[in-house]
Amino acid sequence: MIIRKLLTATRIILFEFIKFAVIDLTATAAIKNLFIKKFFVRRMAGNVIIYPGVRWFSGKNIELGRHVLISYSCYLDDYAEIKILDGTGIGPSCRIVTGTHNTETMDMIGRPVIIGRFCWLGAGVIVLPGVEIGDFSIIGAGSVVTKDIPAYSIAVGNPARVIKSRAVKIPFKLWSGEYINNFDNLP
Ligand SMILES: CC(C)(COP(=O)(O)OP(=O)(O)OC[C@H]1O[C@@H](n2cnc3c(N)ncnc32)[C@H](O)[C@@H]1OP(=O)(O)O)[C@@H](O)C(=O)NCCC(=O)NCCS
């Protein structure tokens, strides 16, 4: 019994060590992405950029689109599904949270979060369970997103409120620095 527990603990520690060593220490994005895609997240498209210090709960419920960028020290709490769609950038130290508790019984509840295409979350944004952020929206630094945000919005504050709308222009600069001329035909 004790030996089995020790073996399980060793396996978990080794797996976590390898996982974060790959994410934090691999210099070449291509190799890093290969490992992340194969072993650590459910679905990941091409050209994703993941900076060091990014952490997640299990990875089993994470889906990343093409040209997604996740900056330093973000935490993806994928107790339920997290989808980050094509072209979206998540600023440093953001928290995307899908797990919560029943406020009477403390039972665990999972609610999926979807962040649309070509969005930008500034530094330190917190997205709460069940929220959907519409395509092309921007969330200001330090905001707490408690409710759905419509597409093309700029929302700020705690709780995040829409302060203006966005007019998106083509050509549009991706996080990789490349320009695109067609949102439906990404490189
Ligand atoms: C959201 C943001 C893009 C808005 O830019 P903008 O459209 O130029 O907006 P403005 O600067 O004109 O601000 C409009 C109002 O919103 C307020 N506001 C702007 N950003 C805010 C924020 N993050 N939280 C709370 N209020 C904010 C401003 O104080 C201003 O309020 P006022 O009308 O009462 O004066 C920008 O403020 C921001 O948060 N950028 C994120 C930067 C960042 O995190 N960088 C890290 C690298 S990814």
Region label for 130, one of left (φ > 0), alpha (ψ between -120 and 50) or beta (otherwise)? left
> Among this protein's residues, is 101 annotated catalytic?
yes
Check if 142 has its Cβ closer than 6 Å to any atom of ligand 1.
yes
Euclidean distance between CA atoms 184 and 117, whole angstroms: 10
Q: Is 59 in the pocket of ligand 1 (CB under 6 A)?
A: no
Ligand 1 in reach of 140 Cβ (< 6 A): yes
Tell me 185's DSSP state: S
Is the CB–ligand 1 distance for residue 175 below 6 Å?
A: no
DSSP conformation class of 103: T
Separation of alpha carbons 11 and 76, rounded Å? 22
What pLDDT sits at residue 81?
Answer: 98
> If you measure from the C-alpha of residue 122 to the centroid of ligand 1, how many angstroms do you get, rounded to a whole number?
9
Helix (H, G, I), strand (E, B) or coil at 158: coil
Specify burial of residue 102 (Cβ count, 10 A radius: 0-12, 13-18, 19+): exposed
CB 122 within 8 A of CB 142: yes
Enter the pTM of the model.
0.94
Pocket test for ligand 1, best of 94, 144, 163, 165 (most atoms within 8 A of CB): 163
Instruction: Read off the pLDDT band of 16 (50, 70, 90).
Output: confident
Q: Write out pLDDT tens, residues 34-70.
A: 888 888 889 999 899 999 999 999 999 999 999 999 9
Q: Is 122 in the pocket of ligand 1 (CB under 6 A)?
A: yes
**78: CA distance to ligand 1 center in Å?**
28
Compute the distance between CA of residue 104 and CA of residue 100 in angstroms, rounded to an integer: 12
- Residue pLDDT, tens place only, 118-171: 999 999 999 999 999 999 999 999 999 999 999 999 999 999 999 999 999 999
pLDDT tier at 26, thresholds 50, 70, 90: confident
Six token digits for residue 187: 């490189």
Residue of 54, 156, 162 to test ligand 1 pocket, by largest number of atoms within 8 Å of CB: 156
